[in-house]
Homo-oligomer: A and B are copies of this chain.
Amino acid sequence: MTTDFAATRAMFDLPEGVVYLDGNSLGPLPRAAAARVAQTVTAEWGKLLITGWNKAGWMDQPARVGDRIARLIGAEAGTVVMGDTLSIKVYQALASALEMNPTRRVILSDTGNFPSDLYMADGLVRTLGQGYALKTVAPEDVFDAIDETVAVTLITEVDYRTGRKHDMAAITARAHEMGALTIWDLAHSAGALPVHLAEVGADFAVGCTYKYLNSGPGGPAFIYVAPRHAEVARPALSGWLGHESPFAFDLGYRPGRGSERMRVGTPPVLQLAALEAALDVWDHVAMEDLRARSLHLGDLFIDGIEAACPELTLATPRAHDMRGSQVSFRHPEGYAIMQALIARGVIGDFRAPDILRFGFTPLYIGEADVKAAVAALSEIMASRSWDRPEYKTRAKVT
């Protein structure tokens, strides 16, 4: 397949005059999503009422949509199920993995991991007691830190701040060699670059859909359980929809088949409708094409900014095999600079303490957008137009 990125761009509803480089935080609206959600609200909820669970297929939606995600992350059919939020899925994967490796007590993660992953691990460790511990090392030290004490690694493949990408195959192999299980957080990977969960032999993976997969604000998360673990992994969050027979209403819990046991409660049907429409775009995309184009756009941005803005320091590895689909620069006044840029219609975001983040998502971003972003940021840096009080007042969400 050769992907037609002009065609994919036409599938999104992008506001006039905006260069949107924040799809790594919240993807834009796929044109088909509005109608799909409206149909789910009006024709399904409104007309079918309770019978929508059967007639509109709401109950099977988490597994059906999971299969569509599976294709994008190199996972086997039937291994991915949707629901909840990424943080909840992290907790589920961790709790199951620890129980599967009962002689060990260490969760290994890195200081570049998204904090919520660490917080969830911390909460689980406190609940477990019994000497369980979360150990974090610098991202570049993960490989060497995997030793015989590690029960499970909890690593986000692409660093949310720097865009640095771990070597999933090497770390997974190393973990298995040392008797550890792996959990991969694909928040900045799914829809951003090729992922080969089955091929690398990953044990668990989790991710969100509102970034590169464009499911909208609060879109549901996913969890992957390798087929070899699917009948072994015991859900700690043992909700009724993960039960073998939810509508038997038995008093005792029996885990459901395979990854479906990782379902917890009632699926978010409206959010899933938006996600289904968003996934239609991916039927037209070859992930290798996407990756090549994303790296090209990233290079173009790096070259442009480095040439024009010496005050900005590249935070993202230059090497293609060490970065995801975003490019980040550092500056002590990064927050104000980003606000000035947003005011000019180029939307990226800021991550404390000093990171300006730019996502390059070829589905709707092209070379002209990159050039416009370079020009706007260069002008802001040259004129110091960011140096105004209104750009320095931090909003609640940064």
Q: What is A's interface to B at a CB cutoff of 8 Å?
A: 13, 15, 18, 20, 22, 25-26, 28-29, 33-34, 37-38, 41-42, 44-47, 49-54, 58-60, 84-88, 91, 95, 111, 114-116, 118-120, 122-124, 126-130, 136, 161, 208, 210, 216-218, 220-221, 234-241, 243, 247-253, 264-272, 274, 342, 347, 349, 351-352, 395-398
Interchain CB contact under 8 A, A116 and B53: no
Interchain CB contact under 8 A, B210 and A249: no
CB contact between A264 and one of B28, B87, B210 (< 8 Å): that residue: B87
Interchain CB contact under 8 A, B20 and A49: yes
A18 to B48, CA, bound (A): 10
CB contact between A123 and one of B37, B53, B210, B253 (< 8 Å): that residue: B253
- Residues in B with CB closer than 8 Å to A41 are 29, 33-34, 37-38, 216, 274
- Residues in B with CB closer than 8 Å to A22 are 49-50
A122 to B239, CA, bound (A): 10
User: A218-B268, A397-B59 in contact; A240/B49 too (CB < 8 A)?
Assistant: no
**Copies of this protein chain in the complex:** 2
CB contact between A240 and one of B87, B208, B210, B264 (< 8 Å): that residue: B87
CB contact between A127 and one of B34, B210, B236, B395 (< 8 Å): that residue: B236
- Distance in Å from the Cβ of A17 to the closest Cβ of chain B? 11
A142 to B161, CA, bound (A): 52
Q: Which residue of B has the minimal Cβ distance to A48?
A: B15
Interchain CB contact under 8 A, A249 and B397: no
User: Can you give 7 A-B contacts (C-beta < 8 A)?
Assistant: A26-B50, A26-B52, A51-B347, A60-B396, A123-B238, A218-B270, A249-B351
